[in-house]
Amino acid sequence: MSRDRFERALLRVLRPLVVAVLFAATAFPFFYMVTLSVRDIQELILHPGSILPRDPTLSTYADVLGRQGFLTFMRNSAIVATASVAVTLLISIPGAYAVARLRFFGRRQVHFLFLAVYLFPAIVLAIPLFTLFTMMGLRGSLAGLILVYIAQTVPVTVYMLRNYFESVPRSVEEAAAIDGCGRVETIWRVVLPLSKPALAATGLYIFMIAWNEFLFALLFLVEKRDSWTVSLGLAQLSGGIEVPTTVLMAGSVVLTLPIVVLFFAGERLLTEGLTAGAEKG
């Protein structure tokens, strides 16, 4: 057998094996978290080594969503995350397009300046933002938290979309200009439809940051429980000695599941071709 055939045969065997091992290592913690969340605490104490529940129950989710207030926390997180995605994309799309297509002084350096924001750790900005938001009366409000997340995500969103917009064929935009479209109309009717994969990936990235972020949510909302996000609610569960492990795992599932659902719901957009069928010779 030649070396090439041997390597091909070996790869055919190793590829599914490696994929299976990586999938198991990634999925098992989430699977075990879900199984713990549907177990009764007495069963967990009596059979701590058991993986599958013997008598599954949803009482832990009723406790988390009802008595622990996670329905309110999820609503607050959904408001914050959705508003952050919408406003960030509204600001970043024209900014990224301008950096990608327009000619101006410092064009090559401006997107690197955007990323310079991330040279400073979040804790450095915590005290100035806390003081500023207290003076503005925004501490304890979801609006103030949304502003922080927008400021955090706009720079990297501009950078991500700029790289994608540069890959859109100029000939498509030139054809739209010949048909009488202005710059804004070209962005709306041509560039954005071709950029659905990038917009979906960027929107999911922003949503994940706003949904999972803890530091600024703790800093600005800790005094007002009705405005807590789901990450703050989960921190409260993990810090309570009277909260059973099964209830804590149910809260963890509630925190994680929306991101997983959104990822699989948007998988088609994430893998779509950039300009399939958009340009004909």
pLDDT in tens, 49-59: 788 888 888 88
Q: Kindly state whether residues 132 and 245 are assigned to the same domain.
A: yes
Confidence of residue 278 (pLDDT cuts 50, 70, 90): very low
pTM reported for the whole predicted model: 0.82
Q: Kindly state whether residues 77 and 180 are assigned to the same domain.
A: yes
Distance CA 41, CA 18 (A): 36
Q: Kindly state whether residues 150 and 222 are assigned to the same domain.
A: yes
pLDDT at 192: 86
Number of domains in the chain: 2
Q: Is residue 155 assigned to a domain? A: yes
Q: Kindly state whether residues 100 and 19 are assigned to the same domain.
A: no
Q: Kindly state whether residues 125 and 26 are assigned to the same domain.
A: no
Q: Kindly state whether residues 140 and 192 are assigned to the same domain.
A: yes
pLDDT in tens, 188-246: 888 888 888 888 888 988 999 999 999 899 888 888 888 899 999 888 887 666 778 88
Cβ neighbours of residue 111 under 8 Å, at least 6 residues apart? Answer: 99, 158, 159, 162
Closest CA to 205 of 54, 79, 89, 31: 89
Distance CA 10, CA 17 (A): 11
Radius of gyration of the chain measured on its C-alpha atoms: 24
Domain that includes residue 163, residue range: 72-271
User: Does the pLDDT at position 274 exceed 60?
Assistant: no
Q: Kindly state whether residues 108 and 179 are assigned to the same domain.
A: yes
